[in-house]
């Protein structure tokens, strides 16, 4: 890939609520090799390939964000590792580590991790989030509609062997995996992985009513506290998670509970969607079109649009899970990047 076109250094990113934006999440594809029930419908219509930012455009735009103070980038999707040549993008962004960028990371479903773990480490990636809602083969297959958990477990082992720290993401699903949450934490302690539990969020239509599967993490914590000695960590990461340490270990339990605990006041992140829209909040529809800006006016226009976007960042999301209610936003998590 060609290198970035130099441009004058624009001002840092601070939104109208005074929050500094230091974290960019990029959905590199809305496609995926799984169909998790809370995330996607079984029959999904994906974006036409010509609607996508190409990898060179993603790199150039990401580098503008780094020039303006973004210190952490997460590649996500859809499944980031199903995009052809994505490792070229990872390698390119890796060159910004230590040059403004402190961390480059991915969220992945792990199915292709065994293949890519070594190259991820070589590019400078040191931590990964791997989503795994169940370790039971049948239940995993049911939740993902056709996934093979052995592939994911193999990917996790390969990543750990390559030197990558792992955080397991697990969406808490009533009647599906709730009985597996405590065993999952015990397994993570044994394996040396962190665990983050996530409440299901109302993003995009799926084939089921999310209200039927919504499991408040407040309930989950009541149960976990009877089984583990959990010590609350009073630290703000600018992210949605709150953390507990499992006493006597280095393992951290994170909770992402947008429904039962709002975290927006310290939000430090924005999201670049697969088709080049900059979303200032996962829970709102407002966005600016950086793909059009880039194709019409180059990086100067991208900078101008990013500055405008700062005024769009809302104070908070407005998620609710109610039976029969429409999703808070129509787009799926896979488009904006979870």
42 vs 318 by CB, closer to ligand SF4: 42
Residue 28 in contact with ligand SAM, rule: CB under 6 A: no
Smallest gap from residue 131 Cβ to ligand SAM (A): 3
Residue 333 touching ligand SAM (CB under 6 A): yes
Angle between helices 55-67 and 290-309 (to 10 degrees): 20
Stretch that binds ligand SAM, among 8-16, 73-81, 120-128, 261-269 (CB under 6 A): 73-81
268 part of the interface to ligand SF4, by CB under 6 A = no
Q: Does 134 participate in binding ligand SAM (rule CB under 6 A)?
A: no
Q: Are 337 and 328 in contact (CB under 8 A)?
A: no
Site for ligand SF4 in 36-65 (CB under 6 A): 36, 39-40
CB of residue 99 to ligand SAM, shortest distance in Å: 26
The reply on whether position 76 binds ligand SAM by CB under 6 A is yes
Q: Which long-range contacts (CB under 8 A, 24 or more apart) does 301-308 make?
A: 302/60, 302/61, 302/64, 303/7, 303/10, 303/64, 303/68, 305/278, 306/10, 306/13, 306/64, 306/65, 306/68, 306/278, 307/10, 307/11
Closest CA to 333 of 4, 41, 95, 92: 41
Binding-site size, ligand SAM (CB under 6 A) = 19
Least CB distance to ligand SF4 at residue 290 (A): 22
Of the candidate spans 11-19, 27-35, 267-275, 311-319, the one that interacts with ligand SF4 by CB under 6 A turns out to be 27-35
Among the listed residues 26, 58, 153, 171, the single contact to ligand SAM using CB under 6 A:
171
Rule CB under 6 A: say whether 79 interacts with ligand SF4: yes
Least distance to ligand SF4, CB of residue 42, Å: 11
Rounded CA separation 203/37 (Å): 12
335 binds ligand SF4 (CB under 6 A): no
Binding mask 105-124 for ligand SF4 (x = CB under 6 A): ----x---------------
Least gap, CB of 198 to ligand SAM (angstroms): 5
Is position 35 an interface residue for ligand SF4 (rule: CB under 6 A)? Answer: yes
Contact flag: residue 29 with ligand SAM (CB under 6 A): no
- Interface residues with ligand SF4 (CB under 6 A)? 32, 34-36, 39-40, 77-79, 109, 131, 334
Residues lying near ligand SAM in the complex (CB under 6 A): 32, 38-39, 76-77, 79, 107-109, 131, 169, 171, 198, 200-201, 203, 333-334, 338
């Amino acid at each position: 890939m060609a290198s970035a076109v130099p441009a004058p250094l624009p001002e840092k990113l601070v939104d109208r609520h005074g929050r500094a934006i230091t974290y960019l999440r990029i959905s590199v594809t809305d496609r995926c090799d799984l169909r998790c029930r809370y995330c996607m419908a079984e029959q999904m219509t994906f974006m036409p390939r010509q609607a996508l930012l190409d990898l060179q455009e993603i790199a150039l735009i990401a580098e503008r964000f780094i020039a303006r103070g973004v210190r952490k980038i997460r590649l996500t999707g859809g499944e980031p590792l199903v995009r052809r040549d994505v490792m070229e993008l990872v390698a390119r962004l890796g060159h910004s580590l230590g040059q403004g960028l402190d961390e480059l990371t991915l969220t992945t479903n792990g199915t292709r991790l065994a293949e890519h773990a070594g190259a991820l480490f070589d590019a400078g990636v040191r931590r990964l989030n791997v989503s795994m809602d169940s370790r039971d083969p049948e239940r995993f297959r049911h939740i993902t509609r056709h996934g093979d958990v052995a592939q994911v477990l193999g990917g996790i082992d390969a990543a750990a062997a390559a030197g990558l720290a792992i955080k397991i993401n697990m969406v808490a699903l009533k009647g599906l995996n709730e009985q597996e949450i405590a065993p999952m934490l015990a397994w993570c302690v044994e394996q040396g992985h962190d665990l983050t539990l996530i409440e299901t969020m109302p993003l995009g239509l799926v084939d089921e009513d999310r209200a039927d599967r919504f499991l408040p993490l407040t309930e989950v914590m009541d149960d976990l506290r009877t089984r583990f000695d959990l010590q609350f960590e009073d630290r703000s990461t600018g992210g949605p998670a709150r953390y507990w340490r499992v006493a006597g270990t280095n393992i951290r339990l994170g909770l992402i509970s947008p429904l039962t605990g709002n975290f927006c006041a310290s939000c430090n992140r924005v999201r670049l969607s697969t088709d080049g829209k900059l979303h200032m909040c996962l829970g709102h529809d407002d966005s600016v079109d950086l793909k059009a800006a880039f194709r019409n006016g180059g990086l100067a226009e991208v900078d101008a649009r990013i500055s405008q976007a700062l005024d769009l960042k809302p104070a908070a999301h407005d998620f609710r899970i109610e039976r029969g209610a429409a999703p808070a936003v129509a787009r799926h998590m896979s488009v904006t990047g979870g």
